Amino acid sequence: MREERISVNSLLVNYKVAGEGEPVLILHGWGGSSDSWIKVQALLAKKGYQIIVPDFPGFGLSVTPANPFSVQDYVDWLNAFIKEIEITYGESIRPFYLIGHSFGGRVAIKFANQNPDKIKKLVFCNSAGIKSDPDLSTKIVFTLARIGNAIFSPKILSRFKDSVRSFFYLFLRNKDYVKAKGTMQETMKKVISEDLISDLVNIQNPTLIVWGEEDKIVPVRYAYIFQAKLKNSELKVLSEIGHSPHLEDPELLAEIVHSFLKP
């Protein structure tokens, strides 16, 4: 396995490459990086693939963008990254396999919708991308947040506003927002505000949906929505696995993915 750093759209980014053979591109989740996929990367590389795992801008060892990114910005960056590293198989550029986990699944949805000819097969692993209707507790918190904005609008109280906002996001279990800093907080707002279901239904590529049955972040009910919306798909639900199959049981995930990718 080797690690490389290159400039893509004027951003210095990091990525890992392992193995030789048909290329497989893995897109990590929010708060993750190429490091979180090392075990799966090594296992799939032994199966005869070239596994490429970039750190998205703002994650891992890649530079954080100066301005907030939307999902489309990440798709545009991914197109530039693919061109920069010249993903090849043999002597020519050919369609590659694409795996997206959680936030990486969001990017994979929009990328696949816009670039179907670049993808041979697609894997969604506990993927985000479908907005849910807020439950009662969430509605209550958002109502309180609006009231809080009014309460903390006077200048003398405004310095407490960020702390209170962080409390509300923790209450909603959105710790990723609290952990994110500066540009990446604004990026997260942009990313989660978009519902990608209209992009999802247009995907025609053969697709595997893998989901941990115990996922508390993106519940397994969304796996069945993905399956219903994707015409050419199959679903594998993993018992006793949560949001991160690549960390909880990398051997199982690698075997499932290999079985789907092989001819």
Tens-digit pLDDT profile for residues 154-198: 555 445 445 444 444 444 444 443 455 678 988 988 998 899 999
Looking at the structure, tell me whether residues 11 and 63 fall in a common domain: yes
Could you tell me if 80 and 210 lie in one domain?
A: yes
Over residues 138-147, mean pLDDT: 52
Q: How many domains does the chain have?
A: 2
Q: How far apart are CA 203 and CA 208, in angstroms?
A: 12
Residues 118 and 140 in one domain: no
Same domain, 202 and 233: yes
pLDDT greater than 50 at residue 76: yes
Domain that holds residue 141: 136-188
In CATH, what number is assigned to the domain containing residue 114?
3.40.50.1820
Residues 12 and 112 occupy one common structural domain: yes
* Pair 150, 127 in one domain: no
pLDDT at position 152, please?
A: 46
18 lies in the same domain as 117? yes
Same domain, 198 and 98: yes
Which whole number is the average pLDDT over 36-50? 97
Q: Are residues 67 and 116 in the same domain?
A: yes
With residue 236 as reference, give the H or E element that holds it. strand 233-238
Q: For the sheet containing 22-27, what is the strand order?
A: 2-8, 11-18, 49-54, 22-27, 96-101, 119-125, 207-212, 233-238
Residue 180 and residue 76 share a domain? no
Domain match, 152 and 170 both: yes
Q: What percent of the chain has pLDDT over 70?
A: 79
